[in-house]
Amino acid sequence: MVEYSIWETILLSVLGIIAVFIVLAVLMLFIKVITFVSRVAGGKEKPATPAASDKLAAYAKGSCGDVKLHNVPDKDAAMIMAIVADKLKTPLNELRFISIKMIGE
């Protein structure tokens, strides 16, 4: 069994940490090179941005625009939409709510 002095132990620890960081740097460089090569090989296609005239393209799949709330808190409007979807047995993302208005109290 080999016994190391405190300075040899510290030196080995530092060398081990340096080796780990070198391997991480090499992996990072490798990932950057692979990303660059895949972008060059695939062309510089940018993701399609929604057209200004097509307002619905900016929303999540299945959603259908904004809801106008008239004197109704957001929490109550969400509850109303959930109840309507439950009563109709229809997923919420298939319904379109145009406005929700409180009628009398």
Residue 49 placed within a domain: no
Q: Looking at residue 91, what is its pLDDT?
A: 86
Q: How many domains does the chain have?
A: 2
Same domain, 9 and 34: yes
Mean pLDDT by 10 residues, the chain (105 residues): 91 97 98 92 62 52 72 90 92 85 80
Is residue 77 within 8 Å of 100, Cβ to Cβ?
Answer: yes
Same domain, 64 and 37: no
Q: Looking at residue 52, what is its pLDDT?
A: 46
> pTM for the complete prediction?
0.40
Q: Looking at residue 30, what is its pLDDT?
A: 97
Same domain, 94 and 66: yes
Is residue 77 within 8 Å of 101, Cβ to Cβ?
Answer: no
Residue 85 placed within a domain: yes
Pinpoint the alpha helices (H) of 1-105: 6-41, 74-88
Tell me the C-alpha distance between 100 and 30, whole Å: 54
Same domain, 40 and 61: no
Structural domain harbouring 24: 1-44
Q: Looking at residue 54, what is its pLDDT?
A: 57
